[in-house]
């Protein structure tokens, strides 16, 4: 690089001598700057990390892919039991939530057209969790593919309802989701070995069946001899009832 300065001045070139934006990439020949031309510690690891970030998230959450009727997303390969979990961890042998032969992890679903969901183990909470259902949002893609209306419950991707007549009631028994017709169901994806349901208790309520990963279990046995005293008072009349799994789920 040529430098023209006044006579007697120092030959050193300083930043004050270079106008802003006067040196661009097009003015630097290929190979003109080598590793030997870069002073030690000129770029620190912190600065390199900042350059490498490029707007990508630091943590990319794991996802679970839908295994409709126990089949991988290729449409033909069945899942097999595995003990390899997220980040090469060792978990209880299972087809679901474990790394399969295609490198993916899956969740069981009977809903055709299901999408990948965030792994429920990411940011999971320990202890009792209670979610009162209050709204349903129709999922157009799943509905079109499944051939029956599919709804997200309160916008959550891990709990969906299926049925052409699914709708919330708000009446003398409060605000609740009735499951009245044969073939209607609520599908929940999670990691748990026990569960409760908030149900309008009373005689004749033992009308729903329970399935775990596609396997039919005995019914929940939630009948009570006395109806809720909150019924017909226009408040939420449900009571917490334990679901009796005939086969205890394992995480």
In this prediction, residue 74 carries a pLDDT of: 94
User: Mean pLDDT across the chain, nearest whole number?
Assistant: 80
Let me know if residue 215 belongs to a domain.
Answer: yes
Distance CA 180, CA 185 (A): 9
Let me know if residue 201 belongs to a domain.
Answer: yes
Distance CA 148, CA 83 (A): 35
Let me know if residue 7 belongs to a domain.
Answer: no
Domain that holds residue 244: 194-251
> Which regions in the chain score pLDDT beneath 50?
1-5, 53-54, 56-60
Let me know if residue 88 belongs to a domain.
Answer: no
Let me know if residue 44 belongs to a domain.
Answer: no
CA atoms within 13 A on the CB side of 232: 3
> pTM here?
0.69
Instruction: Kindly list the distances between the CA atom of residue 213 and the CA atoms of 97, 108, 167, 179, 189, in Å, as whole numbers in the listed order.
Output: 12, 6, 25, 20, 9
In this prediction, residue 44 carries a pLDDT of: 65
Q: Among 192, 240, 242, which residue's Cα sits nearest to residue 212? A: 192
Exposure of 17 by Cβ count < 10 A (0-12 exposed, 13-18 middle, 19+ buried)? exposed
Any idea of the CA torsion for 131, 145, 60, 95, to the nearest 10 degrees? 80
Let me know if residue 109 belongs to a domain.
Answer: no
Let me know if residue 245 belongs to a domain.
Answer: yes
What are the structure tokens assigned to 55, written together?
A: 């707007």
In this prediction, residue 45 carries a pLDDT of: 62
CA angle 183, 184, 185 (to 5 degrees): 115
Total domains, the chain: 1
In this prediction, residue 128 carries a pLDDT of: 62
Let me know if residue 216 belongs to a domain.
Answer: yes
3-state secondary structure of 72: coil
In this prediction, residue 46 carries a pLDDT of: 57
Read out DSSP for 143-202? HHHHSS-EEEETTEEEEEEE-TT---EEETTEEE----STT-EEEE----S--EEEE--S
């Amino acid at each position: 690089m040529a430098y023209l300065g006044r006579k007697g001045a120092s030959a050193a070139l300083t930043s004050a001598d270079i106008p802003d934006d006067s040196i661009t990439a097009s003015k630097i020949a290929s190979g003109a700057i080598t590793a030997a031309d870069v002073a030690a510690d000129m770029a620190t690891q912190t600065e390199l990390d900042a350059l490498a970030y490029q707007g990508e998230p630091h943590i990319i959450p794991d996802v679970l892919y839908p295994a409709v009727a126990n089949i991988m997303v290729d449409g033909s390969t069945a899942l097999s039991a595995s003990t390899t979990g997220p980040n090469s961890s060792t978990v209880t042998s299972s087809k679901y939530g474990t790394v399969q032969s295609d490198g993916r992890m899956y969740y069981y679903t009977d809903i055709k057209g299901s999408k990948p969901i965030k792994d429920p183990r990411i940011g999971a909470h320990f202890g009792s969790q209670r979610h009162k259902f209050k709204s349903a949002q129709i999922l157009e893609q799943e509905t079109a593919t499944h051939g029956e209306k599919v709804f997200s419950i309160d916008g959550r991707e891990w709990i969906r309802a299926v049925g052409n007549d699914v709708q919330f009631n708000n009446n003398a028994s409060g605000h609740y989701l009735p499951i009245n017709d044969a073939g209607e169901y609520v599908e929940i994806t999670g990691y748990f070995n026990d569960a409760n349901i908030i149900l309008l208790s009373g005689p004749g309520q033992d009308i729903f069946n329970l399935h775990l990963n596609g396997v039919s279990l005995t019914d929940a046995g939630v009948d009570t001899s006395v109806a809720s005293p909150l019924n017909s008072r226009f408040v939420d009349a449900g009571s917490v009832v334990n679901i009796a799994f005939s086969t205890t789920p394992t995480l």
